[in-house]
């Protein structure tokens, strides 16, 4: 609903996304600001980006900033809060298959039935390495080692863990990954304060998943817990 308070663009860090939102900002006739999400710790640069990619952590930014905006916070406060949230989020994914873009009609990349792509991007961009398929515990260990190494959460940190399906992975397998992630964090004395398992950020029909960890403070927890009613997130109403 337009109230005249302005528009906050929350944009994944991809060259095409940034270009289009920059054009939108130029055309916008109300105050506007941008938060760039670059939560993917797998690679520093990729086919579509300069710097880290924006992936499933974007959903967390949208939820938290959306809640703050709903409380009538002004544009600058929402922008600053969004930037703070971004610095406390890290993600990394794994693919078991490629995705098929309908216009192309064929897989974006080739991968063997016994292979996985560690650090894949949501557009099918290459990750940090190709490997033979591994047990869930081993996959989660590699993902969380990179994620937690980036965030360096304190021992008493309140963590949100998001297990995000990439489109072709059944919910049962996503919960298997969550179980491995929960055990990995518990072994290191890190507490999961909130958890979410689902497929809010997909790569069409790609089999795979990503893990996202957000280190919460009290304000972030409050806005995560606030009522929400969207196709991907629903609680409190």
Catalytic positions are 123
The structure tokens 């078991």 sit at: 96
Q: Judging by beta carbons within 10 Å of its beta carbon (0-12, 13-18, 19+), is residue 117 exposed, middle or buried?
A: buried
**Short-list 70, 80, 83, 82, CA closest to 229:** 70
φ, ψ dihedrals at 119, nearest 5°: 90, 20
């Amino acid at each position: 609903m337009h109230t005249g308070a302005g528009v906050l663009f929350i944009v994944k860090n991809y060259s095409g996304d940034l270009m289009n939102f920059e054009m939108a900002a130029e055309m916008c006739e109300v105050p506007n600001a941008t938060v760039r999400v670059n939560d993917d710790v797998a690679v520093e640069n990729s086919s579509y980006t300069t710097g880290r990619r924006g992936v499933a952590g974007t959903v967390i930014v949208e939820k938290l900033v959306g809640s703050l905006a709903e409380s009538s916070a002004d544009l600058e406060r929402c922008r600053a809060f969004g930037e703070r949230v971004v610095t406390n989020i890290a993600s990394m994914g794994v693919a078991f298959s490629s995705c098929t873009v309908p216009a192309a009609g064929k897989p974006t990349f080739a991968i063997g039935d016994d292979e996985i792509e560690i650090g894949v991007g949501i557009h099918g961009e290459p990750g940090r390495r190709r490997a033979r398929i591994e047990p869930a515990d081993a996959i989660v260990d590699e993902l969380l080692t990179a994620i937690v190494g980036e965030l360096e959460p304190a021992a008493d940190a309140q963590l949100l863990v998001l297990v995000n399906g990439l489109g072709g992975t059944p919910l049962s397998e996503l919960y298997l990954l969550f179980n491995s992630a929960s055990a990995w964090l518990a072994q290191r004395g890190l507490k999961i304060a909130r958890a979410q398992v689902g497929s809010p950020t997909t790569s069409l029909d790609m089999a795979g998943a990503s893990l996202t960890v957000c280190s919460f403070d009290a304000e972030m927890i409050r806005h995560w817990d606030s009522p929400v009613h969207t196709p991907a997130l629903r609680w409190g109403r």
